[in-house]
Structure 1
Amino acid sequence: MSSSTHHQQQLYKLALSEAHHAQLREHLFPGDGLEAAAIMVCAQSSTHRYVVNQILPVDHNSCRVRAPDRLSWPGTAIEDAIDLAEANSLSIILIHSHPGGTLEFSPLDDNSDYEAMPALFEASERSSILHGSAIMTPNGAIHARLYNRQLAIIPISAVHCAGDDLLTWQRTGHAGVMPTPMAFSAQMGRHLKHLTACIVGVSGTGSIVVEQLARLGFGRLILIDFDDIEFKNLNRIINTTLEDARHGIAKVERIASVIPLYRDDIEVLTLKGSIVSREAIELAGQADVLFCCVDSFEGRQLCDRIAAAFLQPLFDVAVTIPTRQTDSGPAIGEVCGRVDYVKPGGSTLADRGVYCPESLHREYLQQVAPAELDAQVAEGYIKGISDEAPSVISLNMRAASDCVMEFIARAYPFRQELNRERARTTFSIAAGEEEFMSETSFKRAPNPYLGRGLIEPLLGMPRFNTSGVRV
C-alpha cells in the first residue's frame, strides 16, 4: 500500500444503519418528553472508524429517574452489554436523548460518564478498546465521543447514517453540526473534504469515477486495483499514456499520480492488489463511501459484503453492449448501463441478481479450469465479440457520471422525487430509455454480515485468517 499527496489527519467516526437509527429514535423519544437511554454495541472497521453492530434499548420502566433533563438507569443493562461486547472485543457507546434539542453534552452527562466508563474498561481485557457515550436530539441528530482508559475524551468528528439519503452529522470547530450544503455549490466541495471514498477497480469506469470524486472535493481517496496498464487500455482509461503501457505501470499508481496536479489538499491511498484479500478488505473498510467499478462477479460479491460489514453506502456501476445476429453478421442490439445503490440493511447486489452462486462458480472455472467450460467468446464490454480494446470511453463516461450523480443526489438531495424510488437505475442509449427500480422491487434476504466490522472471521469468510493468508 502506498500513500501520496497531502496527509489527512485521521479523525474518529461512527456509522450506523438506517434501521438502527430508526430504532434509536423511536425508543429514545417515546412521546412523553422525558430522557431515555440505549446502548450501542460497536465493532471497528478501522482504527478510527466504528460501526454499530447491535442496539440494546434500556427499558423505560427500569430507569430509576426519567426527567426532561436527567436520567438514571440500572447497571444491569450495562452488564448485559458488557457480556455481549466481550465475546468479540467490541466497544460500548451509551446513548441517551436530549428532548430539549441541545446537541451538546451537559455537565451532568460528563459526571455520569466518569462514573460509568471505569466499569466498562474494568471489564475489557484488551487495552486498545475504547468506549464512549452519545446523545440524540428529536430531529435524529447524534453527537458522540469516545474515552480511553485514562478517561481522556476522544471526539468523534462525524456520525454517518446511510439510508435512502446519506445523513452526516459533522461536527464543526465550535459547538454545533455542519449544515448540509446545497448540491453543486462550492460549500458542497468543502463539505466533501471530510469524507473518504474507496474506489474498487480504477479502469474503464473507475478511473472516471476517481477523477470526478477528486475534483468534487473528497478529502481522501482509497484506490484498489490489481492490474497494470497495457496498450489496449489507453483508449478508455483517462490520464494513461503510452509510456505507462510501455513500462507496465500499475493502474492505481498512474491514476493517483495525476491528482496532485490539480489538488494539493487531498490524501490518496493506493493498493495494487485484488479486493479478494484481507489487506484490501481492511483498507476499503476505512471509507465512508464505497464505489464498486469492477467487472467480475467475485469482486462485486466482496464489495457487497464489505459495504454491509462496515455500514457503507455502496454504488455499483456496470456497462454492456449486447449484440444480435443479422444476415451480415453481428450488430449492436443495445448500449446499456446500470447503477445500483445499496444501503446497509437494504437489498444487496446478490438479492438483486447481479451475481449468484452459479455465476460465481462459472467465473471461478473460467480462471482455474477453462477447459471444463463450453467453448464460448470471452465475456467483455461487447457481448458475443472478442474485442480487447473496445471504443467505449463515451459509454463509460455516461455510466460513471450517473454513478457519481447518484451519490450527490443522496448526500445532497435535489431530486423532485424521493430517493427511495431509485435503488437501481438502468439506461439504454440505443432505445433512448431510462428506467428506475425502487427498494421494494427486490426481495431482501437476511444479511448476516451487517455491522460486523472486523469481527472474525472477516466478512464471515474463513479463508481470510488473521495472518492475512488465504486458506
Structure 2
Amino acid sequence: MSTRIAFTEDQFKPLVAALGNGDETAMVVATSLVGAATTAADSAKAGGHVTLLAQVITQVPKGAYLERGPRGLSISSAGWVPAFRAAVAKGQVPVFVHTHPGGLPEFSQYDDQVDCDLAVAARAFGAPYYAAIVISGTPDHPGVAARLYDLGDTFTPIAPDHTVVDAVRVTGSGLRLYLPTGSTNQHGTIESGEEKVSAFDRQIRMLGQDGDRSLKQVRAAIVGAGGTGSAVGAQIARLGLGEIIVVDDDIVTEPTPTRGHGMTAADLNLPKAEVLGDHLNAIGLGTKITKINKPLHDPDAIAAIAHADVIFSCVDGHGARLILNRWAYAHIAPVIDVAVLITPVETADSNRKVEIEQRVTWVAPGAACLLCRGRVDATLAYAENLDPETRKRLAGEGYVQAAETPRPAVVTLTTSVAALGATEFLLRLTGLGPVDATEMLLRSHLGELRRNARPPRPGCFCTSADFTGRGTRTPYLDLVGAWS
C-alpha cells in the first residue's frame, strides 16, 4: 500500500515553527481521505493507495497539557477528544501531530503506547484510519516521521499494526517530500566493471543523494500525451521518478510524429497514451509507467492521478485545464500548466509573421490559480466538457461555441516549453531554484523571458480553506455538468 499525508505550505509552517518553542507541542489535524473506504467496517478491504489531505489544524489548548517539557508531554482528553470527534463527524481522519525539538524523526516507546490508545479511540468514534506524525529537529532543518493505522476488521487493540507513511508532502511555493529515515530506491543501478554505478551519477553530482532520493519517490501524472506532454515525459522519465501516469484518450494521427516524442509514422491510429508509455518504459531506468487511454473525467483516469505528487497539464483546451486548476487545491498537489500559443499575424505587406508565447504556470495552494490569471475561459471550458453530440447541438442553437480548429504547433516550441516546465518541477522539488515567481512567460518572437507572481483574487475558490484539501467529493470539484 502506498501512503501520503499532504499539507499546504501555510498549514505546515506553524507545525515546524513550534520546534522553536523548546517544549514539545501537540495538535490534531483533520484530514480528507482519498483512495480508500470511508467506514471502519470495510476499510480493511481497501487496497492500493491512501492519501490524507490536511484541512483543519487544532492546537492543543495550553490548559490541556498535564505535563510538558523538551523531552515529553502528557495531555488530558479535553486536549484531543473534541477535535477527534469533530473530524470523524465530518467524515475526516484524525491525525495526531507532536514535536520533538532538537530530536530525531522517530517515535518513542511512549509514543507507541499513546498512538495505540488514540487509534483505539479513533476507531470507537467511527474513523476508518488514524495517523500520527512526529516533527523533529529545528525550524530550519526539520525531520518528519509518520505512520498510518488501518482501523478496519483486521485491527487489533493490543499492539496494532501500522504502515510507515511513504512521504509527507508539503505544497506551496515549492514541493517538498519528507521521507522516512533510511528509505531507498535502487532502480537505475547498472554494472560497470566490478562495481555498481548509479545510472543517475551525473544528476546526483548536482542534486545530491537527498535530491535524487526525493525524485525516486515522486509519483507524477502527465495529462495530455501530445507535443508538450510527450516532451515532458521523455525528460522526467530520465530523472528516475518513482511512477509516471500518462493520461490521454486521443490517437496518433499523421501530424503527431512531427512533435510527439517516441511516436513514429508506424504508430498511426494507436492510442497516444500507449505509444508514449511504451517509449518511456523502453528507457529502462526503473520508473513505473501507468497508461490511461481515457479522458481526464473518466473515473479510471481520476483514480489513477488521485495520488500524484505533481501533475503536468499538457492539454490544448480549456475544459481539462479548468479541472486540473481546481485539482491543485482540492488535492494539495501542484499542477504545472505548460502551454504554447502560436498566432499567425497578417501584415499589410503580406509578409508572414507570428507571435509565439510559451508559458509555464505553477498552480498550487497560496498562489493565484489559472482563473485568477485569466488563463482559462470558463465558458469555453464548459463547452469542451460536454459530450460531442450535446456540444454540437447546443452550438447549432447558439448556446455554446463550436469546436475550434487545430492551432499551429512546432516541435521546437513544444519541446522547449516542456523543458522549462520539467526544470521548474526539478528546482522546486530540490529547493535549488527561486520560488518567488509562479509563472514564466517566454515571447520567443521578441526574445523576451519574464517571470511574475500574482496573489489569488479575493473571493476565488482557490482562497477557500474549505475547498483546499477537500479531495474527491460529489459533485466532483463542484463542476456540475462537467462529466458525462
Instruction: Mark yes or no: TM-score above 0.5.
Output: yes
| Alpha-carbon distance change, 374 to 224 in structure 1, aligned in 2, over 3 angstroms | closer
| RMSD across aligned positions (CA) | 2.7
- Equivalent of 1:438 in 420, 434, 453: 453
Kindly indicate whether residue 30 of structure 2 is the aligned counterpart of residue 38 of structure 1: no
Q: Matched residues in 1 for 2:84 and 2:290: separation?
A: 36
Corresponding residue of 1:80: 82
**For the Cα contact (< 8 Å) 1:199–1:291, is it kept in 2?**
yes
Q: Matched residues in 1 for 2:255 and 2:275: separation?
A: 16
1:24-63 aligned within 5 A: 24-26=15-17, 28-29=18-19, 31-46=20-35, 47-63=49-65
Kindly indicate whether residue 174 of structure 2 is the aligned counterpart of residue 154 of structure 1: no
Output the TM-score relative to the length of structure 1: 0.85
Corresponding residue of 2:442: 427
Corresponding residue of 1:3: none
Shift of residue 354 of structure 1?
Answer: 1.0
| Alpha-carbon distance change, 203 to 242 in structure 1, aligned in 2, over 3 angstroms | same
- Equivalent of 1:213 in 229, 236, 240: 236
Q: Matched residues in 2 for 1:425 and 1:11: separation?
A: 33
Shift of residue 359 of structure 1?
Answer: 3.6
Corresponding residue of 1:99: 101
Unaligned runs of 5+ in 2: 36-48, 185-202
Output the TM-score relative to the length of structure 2: 0.83
Shift of residue 85 of structure 1?
Answer: 2.4
Greater RCO, CA 8 A, separation 6+: 1
Shift of residue 19 of structure 1?
Answer: 1.1
- Equivalent of 1:170 in 179, 194, 203: 179
Partner deviation per Cα, 1:374-399 (whole Å, 9 max, x = no partner):
999945434xxxxxxx4x00001110
Shift of residue 14 of structure 1?
Answer: 1.4
Partner deviation per Cα, 1:40-78 (whole Å, 9 max, x = no partner):
111223332222122111112321211111112232343
Q: Matched residues in 1 for 2:4 and 2:324: separation?
A: 21
Q: Matched residues in 2 for 1:174 and 1:331: separation?
A: 56
Unaligned runs of 5+ in 1: 1-9, 383-389, 465-469
1:442-457 aligned within 5 A: 445=460, 446-447=463-464, 448-457=466-475
Please state whether the residue corresponding to 2:227 is helix, strand or coil. Answer: coil
Please state whether the residue corresponding to 1:353 is helix, strand or coil. Answer: coil
1:66-465 aligned within 5 A: 66-124=68-126, 129-137=128-136, 138-139=138-139, 140-148=142-150, 149-150=155-156, 151-173=160-182, 183=206, 188-245=211-268, 248-263=269-284, 265-329=286-350, 331-361=352-382, 363=384, 367-368=391-392, 369-371=394-396, 372=398, 378-382=404-408, 390=409, 392-415=410-433, 418-420=434-436, 422-440=437-455, 445=460, 446-447=463-464, 448-461=466-479
| Alpha-carbon distance change, 249 to 199 in structure 1, aligned in 2, over 3 angstroms | same
Shift of residue 335 of structure 1?
Answer: 1.4
Letter paired with 2:432 = F
| Alpha-carbon distance change, 373 to 109 in structure 1, aligned in 2, over 3 angstroms | closer
Partner deviation per Cα, 1:420-443 (whole Å, 9 max, x = no partner):
1x2000001111110110244866
**For the Cα contact (< 8 Å) 1:24–1:55, is it kept in 2?**
no
Letter paired with 1:135 = V
Letter paired with 2:145 = H
Q: Matched residues in 1 for 2:183 and 2:235: separation?
A: 31
The worse-fitting range, judged by mean Cα deviation, of 63-72 and 326-335 is 326-335
Letter paired with 1:114 = C
Please state whether the residue corresponding to 2:260 is helix, strand or coil. Answer: coil
Q: Matched residues in 2 for 1:374 and 1:119: separation?
A: 53
| Alpha-carbon distance change, 374 to 191 in structure 1, aligned in 2, over 3 angstroms | closer
Partner deviation per Cα, 1:110-148 (whole Å, 9 max, x = no partner):
1211222211111116xxx22021111233432111123
Partner deviation per Cα, 1:134-185 (whole Å, 9 max, x = no partner):
111233432111123322121112111112222221124379xxxx966456
Shift of residue 107 of structure 1?
Answer: 1.4
Q: Matched residues in 2 for 1:154 and 1:351: separation?
A: 39
**For the Cα contact (< 8 Å) 2:31–2:94, is it kept in 1?**
yes
Please state whether the residue corresponding to 1:171 is helix, strand or coil. Answer: coil
Percent sequence identity is 25
Count of matched residue pairs: 435
| Alpha-carbon distance change, 186 to 135 in structure 1, aligned in 2, over 3 angstroms | closer
Please state whether the residue corresponding to 1:304 is helix, strand or coil. Answer: helix
**For the Cα contact (< 8 Å) 1:346–1:444, is it kept in 2?**
no
**For the Cα contact (< 8 Å) 1:284–1:306, is it kept in 2?**
no
Please state whether the residue corresponding to 1:132 is helix, strand or coil. Answer: strand
Q: Matched residues in 1 for 2:116 and 2:213: separation?
A: 36
Shift of residue 444 of structure 1?
Answer: 7.2
Q: Matched residues in 1 for 2:226 and 2:404: separation?
A: 18
Q: Matched residues in 2 for 1:296 and 1:239: separation?
A: 23
